[in-house]
Amino acid sequence: MTRILAVNLEGAAGGAERSLVLLVEQLQGQFSTIVACPGDSVLSRLLDSKGFCCHKLPRPPARAYSSPLSVGYWLRASLCLVRVVLRAKPDLIHANSLCAAVAAMPAALLTRKSLLLHCRDLGGPGLISRVVGRFCSKLIAVSGAVKDALLRQGVKAEKIEVVYNGIDRAVISTSNPSSGMSKTGNAGVSGRFTFGHVGQFVPWKNHFVFLEAACRVGQELPEARFVLVGDDVFGRDRHYKEAVVSFVRKSTIADRVDLAGWREDMEEVWSGIDCLVHTAAREPFGRVIIEAMAHGIPVIAAGACGPAEIIENGRTGILVRAGDVGAFSEAMLRVAQDGEFAERLGSSGYADAVSRFTAGVTAERIGRIYREVLGL
Smallest CA-to-CA distance from 218 within 186, 260, 257 is with: 257
**According to the model, what pLDDT value does residue 305 have?**
95
Q: Read off the pLDDT of residues 97-133 as tens digits, 9 standing for 90 and up.
A: 999 999 999 999 999 999 999 999 987 767 888 899 9
pTM of the model: 0.91
The pLDDT of residue 56 is above 70: yes
As a whole number, mean pLDDT of residues 27-53 equals 93
DSSP 198: E
Compute the distance between CA of residue 85 and CA of residue 36 in angstroms, rounded to an integer: 10
Residue percentage of the chain with pLDDT more than 70: 94
Domain 3-166+358-374 superfamily per CATH: Glycogen Phosphorylase B; (3.40.50.2000)
**CATH of region 171-356:** 3.40.50.2000
Compute the distance between CA of residue 79 and CA of residue 277 in angstroms, rounded to an integer: 42
Which residues lie across from 277 on neighbouring strands?
A: 300
The pLDDT of residue 144 is above 70: yes
Report the mean per-residue pLDDT for the chain: 91
The pLDDT of residue 181 is above 50: no
Q: Read off the pLDDT of residues 186-212 as tens digits, 9 standing for 90 and up.
A: 444 345 899 999 999 999 999 999 999
Smallest CA-to-CA distance from 365 within 142, 145, 158 is with: 142
Q: Where exactly does CATH 3.40.50.2000 map onto the chain?
A: 3-166+358-374, 171-356
